[in-house]
Amino acid sequence: MSYRQSRNWPSWRNTSKYSVSGMLNPLFQLFQVLKRPSKGAFTMLLAVSLSFCLLTSAYKKDTGLPEPSLNSQTQLVSQKNKPVELNIVSFAVTRAAYANIIPLFQQKWQQEQNQEVRFRLSNAGSSTQARAVVNGLPADVVHLALALDINRIQKAGLIQPGWEQETPNHSIVTSTIGVIVTRAGNPKNIHTWADLANPGVSVVTADPKTSGIARWNFLAFWGSVTQTGGTEAQALDFVTRVYENVNVLAKDARDATDIFLRRKQGDVLINYENELILASQEGLAKDNFSVIPQINISIDNPIAVVDKYVDRRGTRQVAEAFVKFLYSPEAQREFAKVGFRPFNPTLVQEFSCKYPPINKLFTVQTLGGWSAVQEKFFKDGGVFDQIQAYIHSRTD
């Protein structure tokens, strides 16, 4: 893998006219004179001493370099070893994984670089986070729910083009799928995406305007029709009927979980598989019934270093090292423990019982890629807005 390195290295001129040999020639001359003690020798000693002082002063002025000293060297070492702060901006449901991963990296960096790394972690809906970074949130690393949001940061001039090629797996560092969660006993008899459109079903999902999971959910609904032989007209009809069953659009994945599990609203929750696993580990979903649709979308979450901010803050080296560490077996195992599907072959085998394969798994590329998807479905006035306008017109 390759990582961008800062190119702002100084280039020093060849200052040959102030070479060491040139500056020491008068001292050799003085040595020759002092072999013959005389009044002239004392005069020569004084002249050469003054000349040497002038030459060293000129050398210092011409190069702009300070005279080396033990104090300046100590300061350089001190600056290198002073604590560095790293700002991680991520989507809502990664906090638990980072709580375990960050201490592992801190220990590794301390051992290898003798430097403390302090982290500031921000979690919110993916689209909300992207807007915050564009508007000035100084993220060193962004780990978001979808590439579309990182592309938005790139278009703002904060990330260099080609970021997808900077790390393995096209910069996808975590993956999951969509799941359906019902009340205990599955009273509404929900088993597939198609059942979400049934009359009398209250669906909880997030808002595609603010949340990454909401966009993935929308695409899962759409693809469940088009990827099984249905037409786009049929997909539009189905997705419209699903959103007619949505009473409240949550702001992000975690908010959707809270609405369904804590506030007990709705009959069905649509969310990330990893969010359901984490909720189960926290004891929130123990009485609920979960369904993994066998026609599903691979929810791929990318990561990138924010070039403009790391160069401004002087954190590129540690930011790139942290991103690289996230692909290590140690970090990927921590992601897998809290619900993200591993792509490391060894870990796939290790967690095979926890993450059974999906019969038909499609990707956003299957639907045309993020640029086409954004233009068609999620731009202002796109298919999602048209669906919402239609629903509101019927309820007004």
pLDDT tens per residue across span 316-346:
999 999 999 999 999 999 999 999 999 999 9
Full domain range(s) for residue 290: 178-297+363-395
Phi then psi for residue 280, to 5 deg, are -65, -40
Phi then psi for residue 325, to 5 deg, are -65, -30
**At which residue do the structure tokens 């038909």 appear?**
360
254 with 114, same domain: the answer is no
Assign 80 a pLDDT band (cuts: 50, 70, 90): low
220 with 311, same domain: the answer is no
Assign 285 a pLDDT band (cuts: 50, 70, 90): confident
**Which of the residue ranges 6-10, 15-19, 35-39, 163-167 has the most confident prediction, judged by mean pLDDT?**
163-167
pLDDT at 7 over 50: no
| Pair of tokens at residue 157 | 């001039």
Percent of the chain with pLDDT over 70: 80
159 with 204, same domain: the answer is no
pLDDT at 13 over 80: no
Please give the average per-residue pLDDT across 211-238, as a whole number: 97
pLDDT at 146 over 80: yes
88 with 117, same domain: the answer is yes
Please give the average per-residue pLDDT across 359-367, as a whole number: 96
Calculate the average pLDDT of the chain. Answer: 85
Q: What is the pLDDT of residue 282?
A: 86
Give yes or no for a contact between 204 and 250, defined as CB atoms under 8 angstroms apart.
yes
pLDDT at 66 over 90: no
DSSP state of 342: P
Assigned domain for 351 exists: no
285 with 273, same domain: the answer is yes
Assigned domain for 37 exists: no
116 with 191, same domain: the answer is no
282 with 145, same domain: the answer is no
157 with 190, same domain: the answer is no
Query: How distant, in Å, are the alpha carbons of 154, 202, 305, 378 from that of 308?
Result: 10, 44, 9, 28
210 with 230, same domain: the answer is yes
pTM: 0.77
pLDDT at 72 over 70: no
Can you tell me whether residue 191 is helix, strand or coil? coil
231 with 280, same domain: the answer is yes
pLDDT at 54 over 50: no
257 with 152, same domain: the answer is no
User: For the CA atoms of 340, 342, 348, 350, what is the dihedral angle to 10 degrees?
Assistant: -60
**Domain CATH code at residue 232:** 3.40.190.10
Name the domain count of the chain. Answer: 2
Instruction: Give Cα 177 to chain centroid, integer Å.
Output: 19
Q: What is the pLDDT of residues 228-244, one digit of tens each?
A: 999 999 999 999 999 99
169 with 185, same domain: the answer is no
